[in-house]
Amino acid sequence: MITTVRTPLVQTKLPAVGTTIFTVMSGLAAARGAVNLGQGFPDFDCDPRLVHAVTDAMTRGLNQYPPMPGVPVLREAVAAKIRTLHGPHNGRDYDAASEITVTAGATQAIITAILAVVHPGDEVIVLEPCYDSYVPNIELAGGTVVRVPLTPGTLRPDFDKIAAAINTKTRAILINSPHNPSATVWTRDDMLKLQEILAPTDVLLISDEVYEHMVYAPAEHHSVARFPGLAARAFIISSFGKTYHVTGWKVGTVAAPAPLTAEFRKVHQFTVFTVNTPVQYGLAAYMADPKPYLELPAFYQRKRDLFREGLARTRFKLLPSEGSYFQCVDISAVSDLNEAEFCKWLTTEIGVAAIPLSAFYGNGFDQRVVRFCFAKKDETLNLALERLAKL
């Protein structure tokens, strides 16, 4: 008897999702030998002391399951850091046991927060352009995405449009500062305005603050933790990978009031359950010295300034880079191509990969702007600038 062998058809939950622009551009960069300033990751090593701290934890036998929300010593270090930087005198003091959770990276933290609070039919506001995981995460939770554009040109929040988008179905809003991809930073007044808008509502806030330690003078990072009216309704997401140049370790944290954390952990325990034990202990030991994150703004500002100085000799129009490790440029004086085609041409013909800003919009909105990443060795940036000088 012959049985038919077949793979059953599956109705996709994410029909609009294909290969990401980051994968496309990184693949093209590799094939063409281009300098990859597209994908946002460092090409330099982390501090050897951090590696030694993790190795030491492994050697000491800290290799079995940790507690589900994270090892206590790391959660305590995170709570202490928030307290020191944002202060109980003008913000929220988080309890390490009930309000800090260690996650398998910031992306896992974002989807876990969304799955924990968003029900089918709920609306969730995203501010475009936005990080590419936000929209699929909302859709996987059965929520409805409400896209509110940042102001074209300045890429700053339009609070009239945000307020107009809120209704009885609105469950949450996602914000991101310092912002990927625009490199803008929300001001204190921005945060106060959002606090005022949300005050009469039950809207939750998911604040993506993974670039919190990459803010350049005179700008300042205003964490949601500093604003009681926001912190009381917020999941605040941070990333050790971004802060310590170890993006491949995929470890982050979420700070949230105890009732929100309880719901977050319900989902967390049945997705990843918990996070790499020796890495958690290594990070906790490394955090005893605050210098690495306190000195990070100066470290990246020097790279930003080096890169901007070189770009100033091209026909690109530089947009402000207030935070993150990204630099956006207007290509209008360089090419008549749209953003996506320009990035392919730049990679193929000039040998430098960038990302079109249109990739961060649901409708592919094209404003003739592309994004570079300057989290690279000086020699990488100088090689890219040498090639871009041809423009």
pLDDT at 89: 59
Q: What is the mean pLDDT of the chain?
A: 96
Query: CA 137, CA 114: separation in Å to the nearest integer?
Result: 7
Q: Is the pLDDT of residue 179 over 80?
A: yes
Q: Which tokens is 43 given?
A: 């090409």
Q: Is the pLDDT of residue 288 over 90?
A: yes
Query: CA 176, CA 82: separation in Å to the nearest integer?
Result: 17
Q: Is the pLDDT of residue 2 over 80?
A: no
% of the chain at pLDDT higher than 90 = 92
Query: CA 154, CA 157: separation in Å to the nearest integer?
Result: 9
User: Domain map of the chain by residue range?
Assistant: 21-45+294-388, 48-292
CB contact at 8 A, 98 and 116: no
Class of domain 48-292: alpha beta
CB contact at 8 A, 97 and 76: no
Alpha-carbon dihedral sign for residues 230, 128, 107, 323: negative
Taking alpha carbons only, the member of 210, 208, 207 closest to residue 198 is 207
More confident residue, 31 or 21: 31
Convert the pLDDT of each residue in 23-58 to its tens digit. Answer: 888 899 999 999 999 988 899 999 999 999 999 999
CB contact at 8 A, 367 and 28: no
Backbone phi and psi for residue 292, each to the nearest 5 degrees, phi listed first: -55, -40
CB contact at 8 A, 176 and 130: yes
CB contact at 8 A, 287 and 85: no
CB contact at 8 A, 71 and 205: no
The pTM of the full predicted model, rounded to 2 decimals, is: 0.96
Q: Is the pLDDT of residue 91 over 90?
A: no
CB contact at 8 A, 128 and 361: yes
Q: Is the pLDDT of residue 355 over 70?
A: yes
Query: CA 344, CA 187: separation in Å to the nearest integer?
Result: 35
Partner residues linked to 35 by β-bridges: 352
Class of domain 21-45+294-388: alpha beta
Confidence of residue 22 (pLDDT cuts 50, 70, 90): confident
